[in-house]
Amino acid sequence: MVACARSGAAVVIDPGAEAEKVVAQCQGLEVMHIVLTHGHRNHAGAKDQVKEAVGGVTAMSLQDATGYLRSAERYLQDGDRLPFGDFELEVLATPGHSPGSLCFKVGNHLFSGDTLRQGDIGPTNLPDQDLARQLTSVLSRLLTLAENTVVYPGHGPTTTVGQERISNVAVEMLRRAR
Ligand SMILES: [Zn+2]
């Protein structure tokens, strides 16, 4: 959850489970959007419960809504900007881990879902996952952001773009492929 301290406008990102906990964190805030980085259950499972409790416009990629039989009020595309209070959430299309995987950027904070993790990338071992596309997404869309960008993966510790440029497995794979 990201909130504008001045206005109390907030965005919920990937309510995967524990809807009560998410709803409790929204107390006193105005939820403008509930956004999903992708359609997997552990990122999307509590969407409907949270929506019912706190409102906000649900949004995800059309590809993942179709692929995982989910729905949203708004379907997001690369470059979309969702305002909340003094901030904007910017949508980056980063397919690979799922056909419609997205990352969200607020200022110099990046919410990377399962696309980018500390030292690693999310798994691509299922039939609808695509390692080559994911590597392209990570290398061309994420690791090109400012090096002081703070990265909040869907799983595991926080990192920075600068750190991942040095230590991420995607960079190593690119090096070996050359
Ligand atoms: Zn996933």
Please give the distance, rounded to the nearest whole angstrom, from the Cα atom of residue 7 to the centre of ligand 1. Answer: 32
Give me the mean pLDDT over the 119-144 stretch: 96
Report all structural domains of the chain as residue ranges with CATH numbers, in order of start. Answer: 2-177 (3.60.15.10)
Please give the distance, rounded to the nearest whole angstrom, from the Cα atom of residue 86 to the centre of ligand 1. Answer: 30
What does the block give as tokens for 37?
């980085």
The secondary element (H helix, E strand) that includes residue 60 is: strand 57-60
Residue 56 has pLDDT above 90, yes or no: yes
Nearest to 89 by CA among 109, 76, 104: 104
Please give the distance, rounded to the nearest whole angstrom, from the Cα atom of residue 6 to the centre of ligand 1. Answer: 33
Residue 178: predicted pLDDT = 83
Please give the distance, rounded to the nearest whole angstrom, from the Cα atom of residue 158 to the centre of ligand 1. Answer: 17
pTM: 0.96
Tell me which DSSP letter residue 120 carries: E
Residue 177 has pLDDT above 90, yes or no: no
Please give the distance, rounded to the nearest whole angstrom, from the Cα atom of residue 19 to the centre of ligand 1. Answer: 18
Give me the mean pLDDT over the 82-88 stretch: 97
Query: Using alpha carbons only, what angle is made at residue 114 by residues 13 and 27, rounded to the nearest 5 degrees?
Result: 15
